[in-house]
Amino acid sequence: MKRRNFLKSSLPLGAAPFALGGIPVRTMARSLMTQSFTCDQVNDRILVIIQLHGGNDGLNTLIPLVQYETYKNGRPIIGILDNGPRKYLELDNTLGVADQVGLHPDLIDLKSLYDDGMVNFIQQVAYTNTNGSHFRGTDVWLSGKDPETIPDLPDSGWFGRYLDHRFPNYPDAYPNDGMPDPPGLEFGSHIVSLGFHRKVGIPMGLTLSNNPSNFYDQLTAVGGLLPGDIPQSDYGDELKYIIDVERSTNIFAERLAQVYEAGNNSSVVYPENYHTQTTNRYGNPLSGQLRTIARLISGGCKTKVYLARMGGFDTHANQAIAGKPSYGGHGALLYHLSSAIKAFMDDLKELGFADRVMGLTFSEFGRQVKENGDWGTDHGRAAPMILFGKGIKGGVTGTNPDIVNIKNNNIIGHQFDYRQVFATVLQDWLGANNGTLDATEFYEFSNKKLDLINDNFVETDGQIVNFVADTTCDDTPDLPPFTDGTTSVEDEMKTALDLVAYPNPATDHVMVSIESEKLIPARIWLLDMNGRKVRDLKINLFTGKQEVRIDLSNLETGMYILQLIARNRSDSSKLLTSSKLIKS
């Protein structure tokens, strides 16, 4: 049975979602966010991620004004108008002509935040070879893996890998005085997101009523003695994991109830209803989630990453209303998104926490260029992302997509890999160094980051405060920046490396000893005599001597070649050294 399915069928009652203020919540026990940084400035930073599930229509979100005629011809019913009271909002007349965009009129609150320098729209974010599957697209975005090599069922998410690296002893050493809260919280779902999975396990949460003050009592009331004799087996490993999480989440439930009761919201009103009842998406699905996050923050919660969700973006039909293209299902969703984010940031400002919070949105893909016959749009490829907060550099990153030269009704290519955005956020906002990016599998993007985070910002009292994450705050082993194509791997090494394999001949395993004078990421390949790669181990070379164990089980007897390979930014391979190995 798959590990994910095992845990889904084996969860104790106390390990399901619980609710804060009526919002289902999952604690990311064993998976989300980092231990306290050594720098107070970075330690207090918070990331709020909003998933727009279904595939947001980027062309009705950011309208390419320089190609407006082509846009409207392809969308005669749902295309946003360029005249009248519900025309598109002209975002920024300081942008170049090719970059000029119009906003959907229901994004007026985001326009207000943009005018204050608190929003960055990132154009055309995607990954190679999108296939239009909601499940595959979501798995790619949440796993943070190379889409060319990602398996059908990814083993982990980028949150989980990052936090497994930065939280190596979780949950055994937690909660503690430095981190009394779950490192991350997930809202709006009854299924734990893949993004919070780590390779050795998945996170679990709690299921409780809507009354936060009764969280702990209701959890412990589940009752039942935990087994004391755990079998030495795969089942026993899973059982022990469930028991450990249940024990730790008992404490988290009590703590979260305390911080929720200690917190409050300001007088800011979170909009609940759309401004017209012309759609069945009338209530705001995001306001309650963001309101609860703001209250937890104000109550002293030290959770570092929050995940909120909005569904309904799979707009194949009735995306708009005939004769009223800005109204309808998609307009309501954009209004809910925009108004909830604006209320959230206003609330945080009134509470005094706006400087600490940055948020972003993502969707698994965009929509096609031309509308279909059902007043909607079908699955496309790239879509815009939205970053918001006082710490971001406001503006538009990238330019308008080319909607004239299209293929199969789809925009060709994309401008930014989604991992560029996540790597930028992790390093420039949360302070991860290159070593941490490597553990997260984002290392190759350390030199491909985007200019999204402010060098500084002005407080309300006029004081200039440095706002860039000092990566020395991350005390894990660092790596040099990922090399680009102009610098060879040999240039990175002071001397040739010696690779020694023993025992040789070998039976069930071989130890590879490497002595290096340079810090560099590398791989060890084991090739058969036909040149077929039978083992591929990712390593980091550090100054001095290190040893790597390679499993030889299930390999046939014969001659093999061990190779030490390093890769540069252009993904070309450089052979550093090799050695022969006999499998007996």
Q: What's residue 33's pLDDT?
A: 31
d(CA 25, CA 539): 37
d(CA 394, CA 451): 10
d(CA 370, CA 73): 8
Dihedral sign computed on CA atoms, order 426, 430, 434, 439: negative
Which residues, 6+ apart, have CB-to-CB distance to 560 below 8 Å?
Answer: 526, 527, 528, 529, 534, 580, 581, 582, 583
d(CA 545, CA 468): 35
Structure tokens belonging to residue 429? 């906002």
Locate all alpha helices (DSSP H) within 105-175, ordered by sequence: 108-115, 134-143, 158-166
Peptide bond between residue 175 and the one before it cis (omega within 30 degrees of 0): yes
Looking at the chain, which residues constitute the CATH 2.60.40.2550 domain(s)? Answer: 489-583
Closest CA to 128 of 382, 302, 358: 382
CATH number for the domain whose boundaries are 489-583: 2.60.40.2550
d(CA 419, CA 449): 9
Locate all alpha helices (DSSP H) within 417-486, ordered by sequence: 418-424, 434-439
Question: 3-class SS at 59?
Answer: helix
For 379-393, the pLDDT digits (tens) are 999 999 999 999 999
Structure tokens belonging to residue 111? 């326009």
Residue ranges of E strands in 279-420: 305-310, 357-362, 383-389, 395-397, 406-407, 410-411, 416-417
pTM above 0.85, yes or no: no
Peptide bond between residue 271 and the one before it cis (omega within 30 degrees of 0): no
Question: 3-class SS at 487?
Answer: coil
Closest CA to 444 of 461, 465, 422, 459: 422
d(CA 89, CA 101): 9
* Under 8 Å between Cβ of 366 and 382: yes
Q: What's residue 2's pLDDT?
A: 35
* Under 8 Å between Cβ of 518 and 492: yes
d(CA 144, CA 532): 27
Q: What's residue 192's pLDDT?
A: 62
Structure tokens belonging to residue 384? 């815009």
Looking at the chain, which residues constitute the CATH 3.40.720 domain(s)? Answer: 35-167+176-185+269-473
Question: 3-class SS at 52?
Answer: strand
- Give bridge partners of residue 523 from the DSSP assignment: 538, 565
- Give bridge partners of residue 453 from the DSSP assignment: 392
With b meaning 16 or more CB within 10 Å and e meaning fewer, what string describes 446-482?
bebbbebbbeebeeeeeeeeebbbebebbebeebeeb
d(CA 66, CA 102): 10
Which residues, 6+ apart, have CB-to-CB distance to 440 below 8 Å?
Answer: 144, 158, 161, 162, 165, 423, 426, 432
Angle formed at CA 537 by CA 531 and CA 539, multiple of 5 degrees: 130
d(CA 318, CA 332): 12
Question: 3-class SS at 479?
Answer: coil
Q: Per residue of the chain (584 residues), what is the pLDDT tens digit?
A: 333 333 333 333 333 455 566 665 655 433 333 333 335 557 789 999 999 999 999 999 999 999 999 999 999 999 999 999 999 999 999 999 999 999 999 999 999 999 999 999 999 999 998 888 999 999 999 999 888 777 777 888 888 788 777 767 777 777 888 888 888 788 866 666 778 676 765 443 333 333 444 544 544 444 444 555 667 776 666 666 566 656 666 777 788 889 999 999 999 999 988 988 755 556 899 999 999 999 999 999 988 888 898 999 999 999 998 889 999 899 999 999 999 999 999 999 999 999 999 999 999 999 999 999 999 999 999 999 999 999 999 999 999 999 999 999 999 999 999 999 999 999 999 888 888 888 889 988 988 999 999 865 433 333 333 334 444 466 666 776 665 444 444 444 434 467 788 898 998 899 888 877 666 778 888 888 777 788 888 787 776 778 888 989 889 898 888 888 775 444 445 677 778 888 88
Q: DSSP characters for 321-353?
A: BTTBTTSSHHHHHHHHHHHHHHHHHHHHHHHT-
Give the number of other Cβ atoms within 10 Å of residue 256's Cβ. 28
- Give bridge partners of residue 546 from the DSSP assignment: 514
Which residues, 6+ apart, have CB-to-CB distance to 30 below 8 Å?
Answer: 164, 167, 170, 171, 198, 201, 202, 203, 241, 245
Report the topology of domain 35-167+176-185+269-473.
Alkaline Phosphatase, subunit A (3.40.720)
Structure tokens belonging to residue 164? 């497994």
Report the length, in residues, of the chain: 584
For 512-559, the pLDDT digits (tens) are 888 776 667 788 888 887 777 888 887 877 767 788 889 898 898 988
Compute CA 65 distance to the chain's CA centroid, rounded to the nearest angstrom: 30
